[in-house]
Amino acid sequence: MDYREAYEFWKTNDYFDQKTRDELAAIEGNDKEIEDRFYKDLEFGTGGLRGVIGAGTNRMNIYTVRKASQGLANYINKAGTGAKGVAIAYDSRRMSPEFADEAALCLAANGIKAYVFDSLRPTPELSFALRELGCTAGIVVTASHNPPEYNGYKVYWEDGAQVTPPHDTGIIGEVNAISDWAVVKTMDKAEAQSRGLYQVIGKEIDDKYMAELKKQIIHPEIISAVANDIRIVYTPFHGTGNVPVRRILDELGFKNVFVVPEQEEPDPDFTTLDYPNPEDPKAFKLALELAKEKDADIVMATDPDADRLGIYAKDSKSGEYIPFTGNMSGMLIAEYILRERLATDTMPKDPALVTTIVTTNLAHAVTKAYGVKEIDVLTGFKYIGEQIKLFEQTGSNSYVFGLEESYGCLVGTHARDKDAVVAVMMLCEVASYCKKLGITLWDMMIEMYEKYGYYKETQYAITKKGKEGLEEIAAMMDKLRKDPPKAFGDLKVKKFYDYKFGKTIDMESGAEGKTELPASNVLYFDLENDSWCCARPSGTEPKIKFYMGIKGTGLDDASKRLDALTEAVKAVI
């Protein structure tokens, strides 16, 4: 049926509750709004669902969540693993508890036990919980750092990582195969509980999760030595990080942890923020005010589902607080772990650090310096989690750290997704190490730049909403793919990678080769002078993203080079 027919079906069919039908009746006559809500089904992509909350097939609501859960249940039951159950967590967003219950009761109606957290929890704790409970899959209801009108639904598999091939395509196929809403099952919550198909989980998982985090500490004696002196400001951005972050820092002995009071409690409207994203400098306004009042050494913020971490650190020379990108904070942790594991003789056999293709090239220099293997994967932390599974299955390497540019990293293998709680813990250990030396995290960052080179990265995004926007984004990618540029400004393209078709082109000789990574709609340009650019449509937002990085000789030189590359990219597209 076309979008008008779908609209009429939802507006008049008593399968949908009165609230839904009233919401749709209120937009009668607004054809553009009706088209946007019904021109397609909300896409169940490789990670799950994400969209604006509201009535319609292209919205997040109890019906699209049920349909996704029915498709997941069908896939699980066909695989014969339903007896293991599914773990479910949710964040502080609008409708998150309701969507979690809808998912749980659909699974229960299909004979699959749901383990549901008693209140909001971080995404990484779900990854930990499903493995701890021996579940076949997991669900997190979250839209991460998106604006408050969004929510989402992420699916994990039994290894604790977000679903990867073949499970992602298999689940997508089952969801897309559902054309009749009548086949989507649900059941009464009380009945599900009485039949043992809905179980609440909580403190017992929290305690085990905390115990696993503490195992990653390398120098507890350094933390003890400075715990009374180091001063930490933290904000959970109204999300799930507040309780676990404060607990882990308290149990490690940090005495001066100041939480931004206005952003401490869960708030689905994110009232104090334009955008609950640790990449956004404006989001740190209240935290930086508190940091100056308390003379903090480090300022940290976790996004609403606590899988991503943003930080500021004091410049000892100016006294100002300097923002760190995800690449910067991740590489501080990376070098600290590699250096101190070697120094304490606790480095595992055949160590490997895993990054994505859009992560800083500083990772190449650091891993080379410490004799650690670096493995690059596609964008998305699920591919880093997949490497941990492969290491365990094959014994080929030992995972020591993983990071991506988008403010996500993972220390340890307790989870298989980025974990801002453990990242907070490790950065506080690194800050403690600096405090003992009489320097700051920014001083340590400068030391790294002086040692390896001034690597700097940025991202340029173009937003194109609606059906026409998707077509424009596709046209941009098609143009770059069919006629790849030979240069971006003064930087020649050395090699072109088309991951969708698994093809590489040496731009000087014209020789073609094959990529080593799975098929994905990503284009990568390896440039002169340790520079690069990558184009990729977002999987969760109506955007096309251009990632880029350079290597400079100093802070100013790096900024100028990156600005020049950014302008060159804009000129090409």
Choosing from 127, 144, 329, 520, the catalytic residue is 144
What gap in Å lies between CA 67 and CA 179, rounded to an integer? 10
> Token pair 């750092």 is at which residue?
145
Is residue 370 within 8 Å of residue 338, measured between CB atoms? Answer: yes
Is the alpha carbon torsion for 560, 565, 566, 567 positive or negative? positive
Is residue 326 within 8 Å of residue 404, measured between CB atoms? Answer: yes
- Annotated catalytic, 144? yes
Is residue 47 within 8 Å of residue 382, measured between CB atoms? Answer: yes
Phi then psi for 164, rounded to 5 degrees? -125, 170
What gap in Å lies between CA 252 and CA 187, rounded to an integer? 44
Is residue 222 within 8 Å of residue 147, measured between CB atoms? Answer: no
Is the alpha carbon torsion for 358, 359, 361, 364 positive or negative? negative
Rounded to a whole number of angstroms, the CA Rg of the chain reads 24
What gap in Å lies between CA 222 and CA 307, rounded to an integer? 26
Taking alpha carbons only, the member of 42, 84, 50, 62 closest to residue 155 is: 50
Is the alpha carbon torsion for 342, 347, 352, 355 positive or negative? negative
Helix (H, G, I), strand (E, B) or coil at 503: strand
- Listed as own residue / partner, the contacts of 327-331 with beta carbons closer than 8 Å and 24 or more positions apart are 327/359, 327/360, 327/362, 327/403, 327/405, 327/455, 327/457, 328/445, 329/407, 329/409, 329/423, 329/427, 330/359, 330/360, 330/403, 330/404, 330/408, 330/409, 331/360, 331/362, 331/363, 331/366, 331/403, 331/448
**Bridge partner list, 401:** 353
> Token pair 């424009």 is at which residue?
472
Neighbouring C-alpha atoms within 13 Å toward the C-beta of 549: 22
Q: What is the chain's percent helix, strand, coil content, to nearest 5? A: 40, 20, 35
Is residue 296 within 8 Å of residue 231, measured between CB atoms? Answer: yes
What gap in Å lies between CA 264 and CA 85, rounded to an integer? 33
Provide the token pair at 242. Answer: 């507040």
Which residues are part of the catalytic machinery? 144
